[in-house]
Amino acid sequence: MDLILVPLKLDLRAFAELNILYQMVTVFDASIWSYTTPTITRNIFTTPMIVADSSPPEFPPNSVSSRKKREGPKGCLLEQVKNRSPLDAAFKLEVSTLDETSQVKLFYSIGTQHGGTNVVDWTEMGGASLLVPTNDLPSGVPLYWTVKARNSQGLEAFSYCMLQTYDTSIPAGRIDPSYQFSSHPSKISGTVTVFDDSTLERSHEKAVGFSSGQYGNEFVTWDSLDIDKTTIRDGVDNDLKYFSVPRDGKLTTLNFKTANTSTAVECARLCLEYPIKCVSFDYEYHSETCDMYEVVQGPRATLRLSGTYKNFERLGVGHSSYVLYDKLDLHHATVYYINAKVTNTLGYTAYITSLGTTVDFTPPFTGPLGKAAEVKMQASRCSAAVTQRCIEVTWKENHK
């Protein structure tokens, strides 16, 4: 679009009238002097350079106000948007640039390494703030954003920011009940184990019910639950110290990587090369197969016996808490479920449940033994059999 502009125009005119026979007659009306400044003609979409620009754009320090500066790399602010559905995750990118003489265009790229473009190639931002809903970014690995500012002279400057992970899944985990069967009339316990890409909130909730999941709080209502980070396994001097004690079986889910290693220690070393992505692995001693996973046993994967497979879970990236309920009024032949409500800092919430503990106050029933001289019930505690596990021993007289 062309624009024609006359900044200034001066015109001095003279005007004279006479009254002749009661009528006004104009005897003079003309311009006696005029001046016009030069006309300016230009296209409004063309921005001429006022002076030659020999310097690239600058990224100023990030700031929220004139007094408070926000943490982060110069010129680049990045976060995953909170309180959205994990099925509709989004990131927010904000950039500030300075260039006194030129217009600046902004571009960004995303990679799995610093300055990389292998996830998202160079894309124009169209403004200093960008909100992008997407579930196409890889999760479980650090992602690096590169912001490029280019002025009218083609000079460029770069700023970098990153996310430790782009989380598109709810927290995963499980609750291992201390016992599948119990004869204790007042105690029930279990261990809550949670794995998640994002940081967990400080406080969560736990309950006991006759059903599993969100509504399993019929017996003990929801109350506070603190989940602590696990530690390195003591007594192990190789890379398996970062993993749990092996359990029989393999996970019933797809692995993200398979390799052949001569020992479980080598498999653990490979898993450690993926510090966030690999949270567990299965190792089969017969075929020397190493399968690595992004999940642990829980809602998204179960553990099934298969050959000589052993399952190892990563310590240090998970959180665990021992839960003990005491002074309860447990009933015979009832299954009790410990449930946990876990929330991360993105607002993603998951309900994690146990397999249940069956309370049994009666001994095994035998077949006909003939006429007994005496039938006696007693609390044998740990003297009934040498194979007994003497943990949380009950005083109930339930040995016949």
Closest by Cα among 73, 77, 93, 89 to 139: 89
> Given this model, what pLDDT does residue 386 score?
45
Which position has the higher pLDDT, 5 or 130? 130
Q: What is the pLDDT of residue 284?
A: 95
- Mean pLDDT (whole number) for 203-216: 94
Q: Looking at per-residue confidence, does 100 or 394 come out higher?
A: 100
pLDDT of the residue at 351: 95
pLDDT of residue 392: 56
Evaluate if residue 95 carries a pLDDT over 70. yes
* Nearest Cα to Cα of residue 64 among 104, 96, 90: 96
Structure tokens at 314: 């990563």
For the segment(s) 172-230+319-359, the CATH number from 3.50.50.60, 3.90.1300.10, 2.60.40.10, 3.90.1580.10 is 2.60.40.10
Residue 363 has phi, psi (to 5 degrees) of: -80, 170
Written as six digits, the tokens of 399 are 């040995």
Among 3.20.20.70, 3.40.190.100, 3.40.47.10, 3.50.4.10, what is the CATH number of 239-313?
3.50.4.10
**In the structure, what pLDDT confidence band is assigned to residue 372 with cuts at 50, 70 and 90?**
low
pLDDT at 48: 56
Structure tokens at 277: 């992505």
Cα distances (angstroms) measured from residue 7 to each of 32, 40, 44, 183: 21, 8, 16, 98
Instruction: Note the pTM of the prediction, 2 decimals.
Output: 0.63
Average pLDDT of 253-270?
Answer: 94
The answer to whether residue 198 scores a pLDDT higher than 90 is no
Mean pLDDT of 251-279: 92
How far apart, in whole angstroms, are the C-alpha atoms of residue 147 and residue 121?
11
Residue 266: phi and psi, rounded to 5, are -65, -35
Q: How far apart are the first and last CA of the chain?
A: 100
Distance CA 288, CA 260 (A): 6
Give yes or no on whether 76-163 and 172-230+319-359 have one common fold: yes
Strand ranges of the sheet holding 172-177, from the earlier edge strand across to the other edge = 172-177, 188-195, 318-325, 228-229
Q: Residue 327 class from Cβ within 10 Å (0-12 exposed, 13-18 middle, 19+ buried)?
A: exposed
pLDDT digits (tens, 9 = 90+) for 103-134: 889 999 999 999 999 999 999 998 889 999 99
Query: Across all residues in the chain, what is the average pLDDT?
Result: 84
Which sequence spans correspond to the domains of the chain? 76-163, 172-230+319-359, 239-313
CATH number of 76-163, picked from 1.10.10.10, 2.60.40.10, 3.40.50.2300, 3.30.70.20:
2.60.40.10
Round to whole Å and give the CA distance between 137 and 110.
Answer: 9
Q: Is 48 exposed, middle or buried (0-12, 13-18, 19+ CB in 10 A)?
A: exposed
Longest dimension (CA), the chain: 157
Percent with pLDDT over 70 in the chain: 84
**pLDDT band at residue 383 under the 50/70/90 scheme:** low
Whether residue 169 has pLDDT greater than 70: yes
User: According to the model, what pLDDT value does residue 393 have?
Assistant: 61
